[in-house]
Structure 1
């Protein structure tokens, strides 16, 4: 390459590889449906600079690898399968310098009928999605992050937003009791990958999200701000799960504003806490990444 330039990033792969894997244990079947992106970076750039394709593993070959490894090894979790794919590409092809795998798991759950889990029938439950990304460079450890997305939640009380900056630009009043609704996105990075029960940890984080948003089923949990809810969730995850090194959480506001019925004196009401207008745009967006302070151990 001309010395005036340098690569910032490069790679190629197959996106949106869809796969359904069925594990058959007698009459009881289990399924995993994933959508997978693969991306490989070579230790040379002759394909880009000279059009020399001799080291390229075709994107179609990468797609076929997904299917063959699923058949030969089965699928336990998005994380385990992504780690398997990274390890395969780095070990089989000496000129692959880096492998990156994204996995989105489709949210299927077993149908329960007459109080019993069905042996082979499932219900698509798109209220939440399990995601993961594994990136590994040759000679280095795998960097693995897992997440959950699309988790839309709402509570009708135990939420407030008061005492914020009161200047000439403010129009929002203090709200001591408001509807709190959001679509939660969370992702967390692991500090180890060997011997980790990724499914158990994902379920644990999911439970923490529910607990810190909703609280006790009878009394709930008070939220003075979205920022505070994010923090107590992140702190709980780091406190309870030592395998996690950092966690990112994003909570955009999904507003529900009280409809002013006092405008209709003959049929309306001067007070209204039952009828609300959903407003999704524009919306506030609150995000934070909380990690462990490694310096505190020095």
Structure 2
């Protein structure tokens, strides 16, 4: 049991310069006894309103140096404060505020919300067990307008999809990875590096791109690049939900449409997923 969707903004001031973290937290507990379920005995139950208050107090006292560290702080607090807690899990996701720039100069207290992927993390711990930390990015919408195709697939009497050697590749990406033993990691730096790997693997070199023969291969390339460059990552899960674009037939309008006007087909949509880890 626990408290979901604890939303708040943490404002940090350094002189005139302000820093913001707006987050949504879910904190869940499992107690050492199920007596509240079996007997209706609530003597060990930490009210979910108390859980919410603890999360807010930790944000006030500790700040949010990184989402991962804040999730770890939540786990540590419940494990060290309440002997009746057998398991704790904290999920934290961030609203993507970025500092506003005017003519290249960063503003001291103004921000813009840029929906270029949602950062999130999870931390969980059993009593007398290791602390496990996951991190990730979701709702990351990516597109490339060429250097993608889908050919040579299995065909039977139900196949109507034509082969394509040049198509738009567009999708919404979810990536989640797990760390090994956390030893003073710079979680912010690692997360940014992984995001850069994702974009590089998806797009390829900026002057020419890189051909993708399938959504599945693109997912694998993302995972392989992350594992090769970020040694702290042990396992990475990736899900890519694709959006097709169909070329509008303009022959009846007396026009030739050379893949210039297209309409998205958002449903039904294809999805591919893969989990890759180190040996």
Q: Give the TM-score, by structure 1 length.
A: 0.91
Question: How far did 1:268 drift?
Answer: 2.5
Partners of 1:155 and 1:65 in 2: CA distance: 44
Identify, as 1 or 2, the structure richer in strand: 2
Q: How does 1:1-298 map to 2 (within 5 A)?
A: 12-262=1-251, 264=252, 267-269=254-256, 272-293=258-279
Q: Is the 8 A contact 1:260 1:272 kept in 2?
A: no
Unaligned 5+ segments in structure 1 are: 1-11, 294-298
Superposition RMSD on alpha carbons, in Å?
Answer: 1.1
Deviations 1:38-94 (A, max 9, x none): 111000111111111111111011101011111111111110000000000011001
CA contact (8 A) 2:68 2:135 kept: yes
Instruction: Supply the distance in 2 between the matched residues of 1:261 and 1:17 (Cα, whole angstroms).
Output: 50
Q: Which has the larger radius of gyration?
A: 1
Q: Quote how far apart the aligned CAs of 1:212 are.
A: 0.8
The CA deviation at 1:215 is 1.5
SS at 1:15 equivalent: strand
Shift of 1:127: 2.4
Deviation at 1:130, TM superposition (A): 0.3
SS of the residue corresponding to residue 245 of structure 2 reads strand
Decide whether the 8 Å contact of 1:32 with 1:106 is kept in 2.
yes
Contact 1:261–1:272 (Cα < 8 Å) also in 2: no
- SS state of the match for residue 2, structure 2? coil
Where does structure 1 differ by over 4 angstroms across 4 or more consecutive aligned residues? none
How far apart in 1 are the matches of 2:35 and 2:154? 57
Structure 1 residue 260: deviation in Å? 2.2
Corresponding position of 1:6: none
Q: Tell me the distance in 2 between the aligned counterparts of 1:130 and 1:73.
A: 20
Q: Secondary structure at the match of 2:142?
A: strand
Cα deviation 1:264-293 (Å, max 9, x = unaligned): 2x6122x63211121101111011000112
Aligned residue for 1:81, secondary structure, equals: helix
2:158 aligns to what SS in structure 1? coil
